[in-house]
């Protein structure tokens, strides 16, 4: 391999146990040793953490150094000669460290869940720690209850503090405290309280011994009994790699591995503790057909026959457009692809939609319109390497926790500057708060994010003008937006956002200096009215500042569900074919027609709000519902109930009997993410493999099998051998799905599309996007009420995850304690919320991170409260927008004798 002079000076040669290697300057001896195959034992070292050199297990002999050195904290130097296994002195030192640790270690390996994968156990074997000469009494800690999910056994602790350091350095949560001093130090939560944190499970995973273990599967296994299956988490769009550990088809636990997956071994509560959803006793296990008020269990044959015949009958009687379908972005690409193929090719309609509509689509459409690709032009690596990061409308810690970790790492360890615009106060709580890390944070009410972005853009334009290159090539675009922004009075922007011009100017200066700038856009934008326009404006901002075509820069909308991105790319929306291209895209239509050997319907598709309308109007008679639950997730104001009641035929492919499934005519049990093979595309646009870890519950099947079987029943067979067979078909049609690997290769913006956009295409809606709203401000005693995602749940699906329910099992109206104080409300008080839609009673909870004037309710528990929400349909994305409303708050009088 040719090396340039430059790389040579950056490399140093070290010799470890006689093996020489060239490694980059600054590499730690322990890492250099790993590269030559010398494994240096250690407890406290972990590549994710700053070295602490406390356990003293990794001591090595280094020539010309007077005493043994810790290899975890010593960087290599040119010509360094290191002895590890080849030094007797080192051998003695390591043995003695084990001797010291074992002195106070309980030797309770037979009942310890770490047994079989315990570093202390392994090293004791390796160094044949002989009979301990410790004849004193061992340290014994009083057993304390730690948390419902995590067990501590402090007698086993080796005090390496990896848990504490992980909780601080990686998670930024800082929930764990080493309490006391010396040998009596133990890891605890605050005071006498049980642990209240993000429950990422990081402390469990990083503990080298059995001091911190999971309570989910206590005493149930030995590591060697477990079968490991690497797969991708089925909750959010981050697409974390996790390993399902199973025993006899039972899910025992989930783990992750440093260096693996887009998450690099990190997980969140949903990933680590949310796996039991597959094993919930409420799982649907057999197909069922409605008979009057109840269901009758039937065989798959009978169910499929019934569905196939019914659909055929409706199609024959009313035409294909009397049938519509809705699918969830939790499904695999293969499920999604076969679904839309079934709808288009077998039924013959474009009336299909998926969960991507309810948020992520706003981002995708904006990306596609401006840069010609529906994918990010950046990847997680670009977040890590960014010098300026901007987060708009995303409480990323709760919605996309692992993307959040990338942001934390970039800011905390790599010195990136962070600008955040989000309805969050920078308060410290039991979970981390990304705004605490921001250099500039704009804490604006949920309904003022658009205006804050306009203020920010105005400041950027006014202080730094338009980028030189843009000025030449697309002067009109720049001048137009500049003049629109100039026309907005600062006084009004200041009043709407609560921030002064100078504050915007300071943040703008930081933004403009950025060479690598990534703008993350979250639910606070994507699910709110005008969210598409805000995303478009942020793309404009990158274009105007010349950052957009540069590598490492981009706008990155965050996907809510694990495969929302895949839902769009597989064509599981009415207006797009596989590849995300418009329905009239001739080339694709041709290719599909050829591949499917079926014609593609030409009538434009319908979005779910439109489908709802047609259901109400009675033109849609049958609905194929795949993992979606409109009855349980849409506000009554949408008229969803009436629409569903009018259906002649409703089929639900579901894992649970949801509200919608409850009124179905046929129930078909389907597999969850842990029970099937396939692929997901994560929020970055990275295609990843999903592997079956356990057999589907009861008679459940993967969704694609159901569509395939139905096609047979409908005499138009669309058969596949297995999921790989579908994968092949997809790959042949869609070049973007051919890449499987450790990291995505983000597409570049399509320059023609960008040029066309700036040359005039932008004018289509520019007036709408660059306009300040005129509507009335909420009255001072009113509360802007927003439904948001909690860190501990994902839609309604995770409510079936036992572990997550132990952390969060009910919803409260969270308000700022000061806000509550002003209203004379205490934590736990009952209040009534009123608006024109109705009244609902809720319980008050406190969260310092919620700004005044706002109330937040976790959407997972919105059963009652969603009655208060009116809805609008976004004109551009055709999505139902309804997560925000305005309410009056009144205390509920406490009846005498009743307890609060």
Which residues contact other proteins (rule: CB under 8 A)?
51-57, 59, 67-68, 70, 73, 92-93, 96-97, 99-101, 103-104, 133-137, 139, 158-159, 164, 173-185, 188-192, 428, 436
Beta-bridged to residue 418, according to DSSP, are 389
Strand arrangement of the beta sheet that strand 388-392 belongs to: 440-443, 417-422, 388-392, 517-521, 554-557
CA distance linking residue 744 with residue 658, whole number of Å: 36
Pairing of strands 576-577, 581-582: antiparallel
For other proteins, give the closer residue by CB, 137 or 586. 137
Secondary structure (DSSP) of 605-662: ---HHHHHHHHHHT---EEEEES--HHHHS-GGGTHHHHHHT-SEEEEEESS--HHHH
- Output the smallest distance, CB 57 to other proteins, in A: 7
CA distance linking residue 741 with residue 738, whole number of Å: 10
- Output the smallest distance, CB 208 to other proteins, in A: 12
DSSP 142: P
- Output the smallest distance, CB 793 to other proteins, in A: 23
Strands (E), 682-727: 687-690
For other proteins, give the closer residue by CB, 94 or 369. 94
- Output the smallest distance, CB 789 to other proteins, in A: 23
For other proteins, give the closer residue by CB, 69 or 689. 69
The number of beta carbons lying within 10 Å of the beta carbon of residue 11 is: 15
The number of beta carbons lying within 10 Å of the beta carbon of residue 224 is: 8
For other proteins, give the closer residue by CB, 58 or 444. 58
For other proteins, give the closer residue by CB, 67 or 899. 67
- Output the smallest distance, CB 441 to other proteins, in A: 13
- Output the smallest distance, CB 53 to other proteins, in A: 4
Q: Which of 874, 782, 880, 889 is nearest to 450 (CA)?
A: 874
- Output the smallest distance, CB 71 to other proteins, in A: 12
For other proteins, give the closer residue by CB, 167 or 452. 167
- Output the smallest distance, CB 408 to other proteins, in A: 15
- Output the smallest distance, CB 114 to other proteins, in A: 18
For other proteins, give the closer residue by CB, 133 or 900. 133
Q: Which of 310, 304, 320 is nearest to 599 (CA)?
A: 320
Beta-bridged to residue 649, according to DSSP, are 622
- Output the smallest distance, CB 436 to other proteins, in A: 7
- Output the smallest distance, CB 85 to other proteins, in A: 18
For other proteins, give the closer residue by CB, 70 or 534. 70
Secondary structure (DSSP) of 154-204: GGG-----HHHHIIIIIT-----EEESSGGG-EEE-STTPPP-S----HHH
Asked whether the beta carbons of 313 and 288 are under 8 A apart, the reply is no
- Output the smallest distance, CB 159 to other proteins, in A: 6
For other proteins, give the closer residue by CB, 181 or 900. 181
- Output the smallest distance, CB 178 to other proteins, in A: 5
For other proteins, give the closer residue by CB, 64 or 133. 133
The number of beta carbons lying within 10 Å of the beta carbon of residue 294 is: 7
CA distance linking residue 437 with residue 304, whole number of Å: 54
- Output the smallest distance, CB 513 to other proteins, in A: 18
Residues 6+ apart with CB under 8 A from 546: 467, 468, 469, 470
Q: Which of 117, 120, 200, 208 is nearest to 161 (CA)?
A: 208
Asked whether the beta carbons of 345 and 712 are under 8 A apart, the reply is no
CA distance linking residue 661 with residue 56, whole number of Å: 59
- Output the smallest distance, CB 191 to other proteins, in A: 5
For other proteins, give the closer residue by CB, 181 or 899. 181
Residue 151: its H or E element: strand 150-152
For other proteins, give the closer residue by CB, 93 or 887. 93
CA distance linking residue 340 with residue 360, whole number of Å: 19
**DSSP three-state, residue 115:** coil
Residue 556: its H or E element: strand 554-557
For other proteins, give the closer residue by CB, 104 or 420. 104
Residues 6+ apart with CB under 8 A from 900: 826, 828, 829, 830, 894
For other proteins, give the closer residue by CB, 549 or 817. 817
For other proteins, give the closer residue by CB, 59 or 813. 59
Asked whether the beta carbons of 529 and 769 are under 8 A apart, the reply is no
CA distance linking residue 857 with residue 865, whole number of Å: 9
For other proteins, give the closer residue by CB, 157 or 410. 157
- CB burial of 152-176 (b: ≥16 within 10 Å; e: otherwise) equals bbbbbbbbbbbbbbbbbbbbbbebb
Q: Which of 236, 231, 232, 562 is nearest to 401 (CA)?
A: 236
For other proteins, give the closer residue by CB, 99 or 890. 99
**DSSP three-state, residue 412:** helix
CA distance linking residue 707 with residue 691, whole number of Å: 20
- Output the smallest distance, CB 209 to other proteins, in A: 13
For other proteins, give the closer residue by CB, 432 or 879. 432
- Output the smallest distance, CB 194 to other proteins, in A: 12
- Output the smallest distance, CB 43 to other proteins, in A: 8
CA distance linking residue 709 with residue 678, whole number of Å: 18
DSSP 670: B
What is the 3 state secondary structure string of 765-830?
CHHHHCCCCCCCCCCCCEEEEEEECCCCCCCCHHHHCHHHHHHCCCCCEEECHHHHHHCCCCCCCE
């Amino acid at each position: 391999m040719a090396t340039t002079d430059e790389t040579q000076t950056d490399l140093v040669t070290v010799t470890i146990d006689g093996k020489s290697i060239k490694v980059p300057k600054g590499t730690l001896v322990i890492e250099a040793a790993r590269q030559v195959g010398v494994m240096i034992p250690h407890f406290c070292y972990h590549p994710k953490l700053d070295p602490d050199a406390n356990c003293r297990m990794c001591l090595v002999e280094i020539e010309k150094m007077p005493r043994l050195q810790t290899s975890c904290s010593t960087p290599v130097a040119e010509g360094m000669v290191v002895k590890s296994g080849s030094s007797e002195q080192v051998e003695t030192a390591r043995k003695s460290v084990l001797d010291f640790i074992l002195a106070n270690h309980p030797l309770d390996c037979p009942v310890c869940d770490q047994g079989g994968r315990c570093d202390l156990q392994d090293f004791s074997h390796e160094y044949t720690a002989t009979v301990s000469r410790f004849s004193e009494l061992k340290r014994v800690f009083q057993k304390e209850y730690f948390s419902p999910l995590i067990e501590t056994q402090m007698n086993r602790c080796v005090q390496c503090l990896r848990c504490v350091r992980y909780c601080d350095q990686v998670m930024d949560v800082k929930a764990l405290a080493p309490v006391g001093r010396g040998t009596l130090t133990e890891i605890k939560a605050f005071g006498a309280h049980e642990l209240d944190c993000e429950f990422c499970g990081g402390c469990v995973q990083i503990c080298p011994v059995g001091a911190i273990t999971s309570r989910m599967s206590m005493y149930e296994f030995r590591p060697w009994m477990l079968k490991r299956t690497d797969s991708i988490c089925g909750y959010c769009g981050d697409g974390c790699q996790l390993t399902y550990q199973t025993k006899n088809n039972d899910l025992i636990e989930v783990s992750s591995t440093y260096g693996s997956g887009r998450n690099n071994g990190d997980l969140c509560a949903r990933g680590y503790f949310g796996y039991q959803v597959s094993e919930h006793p409420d799982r649907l296990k057999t197909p069922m057909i409605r008979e009057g008020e109840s269901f009758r269990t039937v065989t798959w044959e009978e169910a499929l026959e019934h569905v196939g015949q019914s659909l055929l009958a409706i199609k024959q009687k009313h035409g294909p457009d009397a049938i519509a379908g809705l699918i969830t972005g939790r499904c695999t690409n293969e499920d999604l692809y076969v679904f839309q193929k079934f709808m288009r090719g077998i039924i013959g309609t474009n009336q299909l939609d998926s969960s991507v509509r309810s948020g992520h689509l706003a981002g995708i459409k904006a990306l596609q319109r401006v840069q010609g690709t529906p994918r990010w032009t950046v990847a997680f690596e670009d977040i890590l390497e960014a010098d300026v990061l901007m987060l708009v409308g995303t409480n990323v810690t709760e919605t996309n926790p692992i993307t959040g970790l990338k942001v934390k790492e970039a800011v905390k360890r790599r010195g990136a500057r962070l600008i955040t615009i989000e309805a969050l106060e920078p308060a410290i709580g039991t979970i981390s708060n990304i705004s605490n890390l921001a250099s500039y944070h704009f804490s604006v009410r949920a309904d003022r994010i658009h205006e804050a972005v306009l203020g920010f853009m105005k400041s950027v334009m006014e202080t730094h003008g338009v980028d030189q290159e843009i000025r030449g090539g697309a002067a009109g675009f720049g001048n137009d937006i500049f003049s629109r922004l100039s026309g907005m009075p600062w006084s009004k922007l200041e009043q709407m956002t609560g921030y002064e011009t100078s504050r915007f100017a300071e943040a703008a200066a930081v933004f403009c200096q950025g060479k690598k700038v990534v703008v993350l856009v979250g639910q606070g934008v994507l699910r709110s009215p005008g969210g598409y326009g805000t995303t478009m404006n942020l793309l404009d901002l990158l274009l105007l500042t010349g950052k957009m075509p540069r590598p490492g820069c981009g706008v990155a909308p965050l996907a809510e569900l694990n495969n929302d991105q895949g839902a769009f790319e597989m064509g599981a929306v009415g207006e797009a074919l596989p590849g995300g291209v418009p329905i009239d895209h001739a080339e694709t239509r041709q290719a599909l027609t050829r591949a499917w050997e079926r014609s593609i319907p030409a009538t434009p598709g319908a979005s779910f709000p439109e489908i709802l309308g047609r259901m109400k109007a009675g033109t849609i008679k049958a609905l194929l519902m795949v993992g979606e639950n409109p009855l349980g997730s849409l506000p009554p104001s949408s008229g969803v109930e009436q629409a569903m009641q009018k259906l002649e035929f409703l089929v639900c492919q579901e894992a649970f009997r949801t509200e919608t499934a409850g009124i179905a005519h046929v129930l078909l049990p389907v597999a969850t993410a842990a029970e099937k093979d396939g692929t997901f595309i994560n929020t970055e646009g990275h295609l990843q493999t999903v592997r079956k870890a356990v057999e589907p519950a009861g008679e459940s099947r993967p969704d694609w099998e159901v569509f395939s079987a139905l096609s047979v029943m409908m005499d138009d067979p669309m058969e596949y051998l297995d999921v790989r067979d579908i994968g092949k078909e997809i790959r042949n049609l869609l070049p973007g799905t051919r890449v499987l690997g450790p990291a995505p290769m983000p597409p570049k913006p399509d320059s023609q599309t960008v040029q066309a956009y700036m040359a005039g295409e932008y004018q289509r809606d520019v007036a709408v996007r660059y306009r300040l709203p005129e509507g009335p401000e909420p009255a001072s005693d009113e509360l802007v009420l927003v439904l948001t995602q909690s860190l501990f749940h994902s839609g309604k699906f995770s409510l079936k995850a036992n572990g997550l329910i132990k952390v969060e099992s009910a919803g409260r109206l969270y308000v700022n304690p000061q806000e509550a104080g002003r209203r004379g409300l205490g934590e736990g008080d009952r209040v009534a919320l009123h608006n024109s839609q109705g009244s609902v009673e809720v319980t008050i909870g406190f969260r310092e991170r919620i700004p005044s004037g706002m109330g937040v309710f976790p959407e997972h528990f919105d059963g009652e409260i969603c009655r208060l929400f009116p809805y609008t349909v976004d004109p551009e994305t055709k999505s139902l927008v309804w997560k925000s409303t305005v309410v009056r708050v009144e205390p509920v009088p406490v009846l005498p004798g009743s307890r609060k």
